[in-house]
């Protein structure tokens, strides 16, 4: 395997502003794949077998990018989202606690864009909702379901039962609508709790699967 890790736009020391899975994030993924392919002679790259994998924000980007770049042949979304609208504004109710936490973390260790700041403010105040629906629909893998099904992209989804940020029932609904090869893991714990240990420990259940 060739493993390539990158820091998502707008977080920590990375330049730019947080795009939350939008067009700039999709462009970044495509640029990374193009760079990897440019290293074919020295890295022995197999361009026909490219997979994306991530946790939380990275999971959403991994899933979205498979719908936007046809060079991706498999994707693994661990504690990610399938419908960003439902994550932020399920049953027309703001996800208040997680919304505030995301806003705080973005301001502490990231560089939020004006659009993201406006989105969080609009949702909490129930205003300019047409902007919210447009912003979240573009960033929802469920919006691009036809692309997953037309290409039959292999998808692995992992979600945790008490995840109050990216709720497992929305992922299960997306999973049911996928028509290609697919695998769903439902685990104990909250957001990303079951997946993160696999970043530092060998042979954890989820990463083995």
Question: How confident is the model at residue 78, as a pLDDT?
Answer: 98
Per-residue pLDDT of the chain (209 residues; tens, 9 = 90+): 999 999 999 999 888 999 999 999 999 999 999 999 999 999 999 999 999 999 999 999 999 999 999 999 999 999 999 999 999 998 889 988 778 888 888 889 999 999 999 998 899 888 999 999 999 999 999 999 999 999 999 999 999 999 998 999 999 999 999 999 999 999 999 999 999 999 999 889 999 98
* Residue whose tokens read 């640029």: 31
CA distance 144 to 64: 8
Question: How confident is the model at residue 100, as a pLDDT?
Answer: 83
C-beta of residue 64 within 8 angstroms of C-beta of residue 57: no
Cα torsion angle, 39, 43, 44, 49, sign:
negative
Note if the pTM is more than 0.95.
no
Cα torsion angle, 86, 27, 68, 129, sign:
positive
Question: How confident is the model at residue 188, as a pLDDT?
Answer: 94
């Amino acid at each position: 395997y060739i493993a390539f890790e990158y820091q998502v736009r707008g977080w920590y020391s990375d330049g730019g502003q947080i795009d939350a899975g939008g067009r700039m994030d999709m462009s970044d993924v495509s640029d990374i794949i193009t760079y990897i392919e440019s290293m074919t002679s020295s890295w022995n790259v197999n361009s026909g077998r490219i997979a994306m994998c991530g946790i939380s924000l990275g999971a959403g980007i991994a899933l979205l990018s498979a719908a936007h770049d046809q060079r991706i042949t498999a994707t693994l979304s661990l504690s990610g989202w399938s419908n960003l609208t439902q994550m932020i504004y399920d049953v027309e109710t703001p996800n208040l606690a997680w919304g505030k936490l995301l806003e705080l973390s973005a301001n502490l260790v990231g560089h939020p864009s004006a659009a993201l700041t406006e989105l969080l403010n609009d949702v909490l105040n129930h205003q300019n909702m047409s902007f919210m629906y447009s912003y979240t629909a573009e960033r929802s893998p469920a919006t691009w379901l036809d692309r997953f099904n037309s290409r039959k992209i292999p998808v692995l989804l992992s979600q945790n039962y008490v995840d109050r940020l990216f709720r497992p029932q929305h992922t299960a609904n997306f999973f049911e609508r996928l028509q290609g090869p697919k695998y769903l893991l439902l685990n104990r714990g909250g957001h990303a709790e079951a997946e993160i240990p696999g970043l530092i420990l060998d042979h954890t259940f989820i990463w083995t699967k």
